[in-house]
């Protein structure tokens, strides 16, 4: 059930086809769209009224082209620069509007990935570009459905809750829990700078998983307050396979609760997030490895990974006349066992400012720092081949709104990777995002 591979040329042709379609729509709508091209939310406008008509019927279509030019200018594994990008296709169907099924919706997220990235050039654990990690990082070119879900919303104890089932895009899930991180397409680009991620990678094998979740929504803050998740541990970002195959190696279970508050009428919260995997993972304690004839060096012990994360979010400045102009602090930490996971703990903290300059209310900027601690067992295990160290880094960015559908971001990262002997990587980048 793949969409097939789409080349860069085909993606560009699609872009121009959409622009042509919008510009040759009904004459009256064409004039209105052309008059407002610099103020409307999407480059291609209303498609002659079709976009609004579909939305009124419960079908919302989102198209976004994200392009990146990033380079390791010094240090790291290799000095190199690359151009690449993704095309995101989102279709959300409100079944209640469409055919009266109360609270039911269908959501699809597909992505085309093209070009190259420098993810490996900074270091294996640096993760300098979240936007290029899906559908798959590296040399991958193609289009895949990374998320396809059915969601049922309902009232619960006077509040609001939902159940979601299907193929879950992990970055979409994280963005749902923390709306401020914006999928790496609007705010920070480095995964470590936006969320406490590194220790969690051992529990599952990819960023697209079969599963489901139950979530309650806080009506006042319009944010998930409690949640339970259950997914398989097998990556299905670039294929489908069966649900049973996805759970063959075990399941990942997680839960969270968020405590909301207001400080001088500015919202904030404290969040506890815990996860556990039933997947058997080879021990990384060197004492658990032996040489078995015919099999080589193997681990004699298997363990199941777990993690506990804590997050704090607080708005500390807000424009009295425009609540979207604000400054925020977001910090988090994760702790897990030193065996069997390769990363045992993580800490990050960032500050972001939205519309800091009164004349630029839709610009966005931020600074972040992070620190990842690798498992002592893991370091010792691989020491005969490579000497490893803990990693840390800093990132700063400024996102300029050229108009509502066009944003340009300048980004600078300084990262010490996991390989002893490598100098601090200086990573500079530009990101251009077009909402079509």
Contact residues for 293 (Cβ-Cβ < 8 A; gap 6+): none
Of 331, 220, 317, 311, residue with least CA distance to 264: 317
pLDDT of residue 16: 43
pLDDT of residue 283: 82
Strand, helix or coil for residue 101: coil
Chain center to CA of 272: 19
Q: Domains of the chain: which residue ranges? A: 7-56, 67-78+121-127+173-435
Contact 256, 273 (CB under 8 A): yes
Phi-psi region of 13 (alpha: psi -120 to 50; beta: other; left: phi over 0): alpha
Flag residues of the chain having pLDDT under 70.
1-35, 291, 294-298
pLDDT in tens, 288-332: 777 677 666 667 778 888 999 999 999 999 998 999 999 999 999
Exposed (0-12), middle (13-18) or buried (19+): which is 412, by Cβ within 10 Å? Answer: middle
pLDDT of residue 7: 46
pLDDT in tens, 324-361: 999 999 999 999 988 888 899 999 999 999 999 999 99
Strand partners, 269: 260, 313
- CATH ID of 67-78+121-127+173-435, from 2.40.30, 2.40.160, 1.10.8, 3.40.50: 2.40.160
d(CA 5, CA 140): 10
pLDDT of residue 367: 98
d(CA 150, CA 108): 9
Contact 211, 229 (CB under 8 A): yes
Host H or E run for residue 191: helix 191-194
pLDDT of residue 372: 96
pLDDT of residue 152: 97
User: How do beta strands 406-416 and 425-435 pair?
Assistant: antiparallel
pTM for this one?
0.88
pLDDT of residue 28: 47
């Amino acid at each position: 059930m793949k969409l097939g591979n789409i080349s860069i040329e085909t993606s560009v042709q699609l872009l121009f086809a959409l622009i042509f379609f919008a510009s040759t729509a009904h004459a009256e709508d064409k004039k209105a769209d052309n008059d407002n091209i610099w103020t409307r939310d999407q480059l291609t406008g209303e498609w002659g009224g079709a976009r609004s008509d579909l939305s009124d019927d419960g079908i919302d279509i989102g198209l976004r082209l994200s392009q990146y030019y990033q380079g390791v200018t010094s240090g790291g594994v290799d000095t190199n620069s690359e151009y690449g990008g993704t095309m995101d296709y989102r279709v959300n169907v409100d079944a209640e509007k469409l055919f009266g099924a109360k609270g039911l919706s269908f959501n699809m997220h597909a992505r085309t990935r093209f070009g190259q990235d420098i993810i490996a050039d900074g270091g294996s654990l640096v993760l300098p570009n979240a936007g290029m990690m899906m559908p798959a990082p590296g040399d991958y070119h193609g289009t895949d459905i990374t998320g396809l879900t059915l969601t049922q919303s309902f009232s619960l104890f006077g509040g609001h809750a939902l159940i979601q089932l299907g193929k879950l895009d992990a970055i979409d899930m994280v963005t749902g829990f923390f709306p401020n991180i914006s999928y790496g397409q609007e705010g920070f680009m480095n995964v470590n700078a936006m969320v406490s991620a590194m220790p969690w990678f051992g529990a599952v094998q990819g960023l697209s998983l079969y599963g489901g979740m139950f979530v309650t929504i806080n009506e006042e803050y319009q944010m998930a307050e409690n949640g339970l998740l259950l997914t398989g541990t097998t990556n299905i970002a670039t294929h489908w396979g069966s649900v049973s195959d996805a759970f063959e190696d075990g399941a990942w279970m997680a839960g969270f609760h968020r405590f909301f508050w207001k400080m001088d009428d500015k919202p904030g919260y404290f969040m506890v997030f815990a996860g556990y995997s039933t997947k058997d993972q080879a021990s990384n304690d060197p004492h658990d490895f032996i040489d078995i004839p015919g099999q080589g060096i193997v681990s004699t012990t298997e363990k199941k990974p777990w993690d506990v994360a804590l997050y704090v979010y607080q708005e500390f400045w807000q424009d009295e006349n425009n609540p979207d102009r604000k400054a925020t602090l977001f910090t988090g930490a994760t702790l897990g066992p030193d065996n069997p996971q390769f990363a045992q703990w993580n800490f990050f903290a960032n500050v972001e400012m939205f519309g800091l300059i009164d004349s630029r209310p839709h610009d966005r900027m931020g600074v972040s720092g992070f620190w990842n601690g690798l498992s002592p067992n893991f370091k010792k295990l691989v020491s005969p081949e490579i000497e490893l160290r803990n990693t840390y880094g800093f990132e700063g960015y400024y996102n300029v709104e050229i108009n509502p559908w066009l944003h340009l971001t300048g980004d600078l990262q300084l990262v010490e990777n996991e390989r002893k002997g490598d100098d601090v990587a200086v990573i500079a980048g530009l990101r251009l995002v077009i909402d079509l």
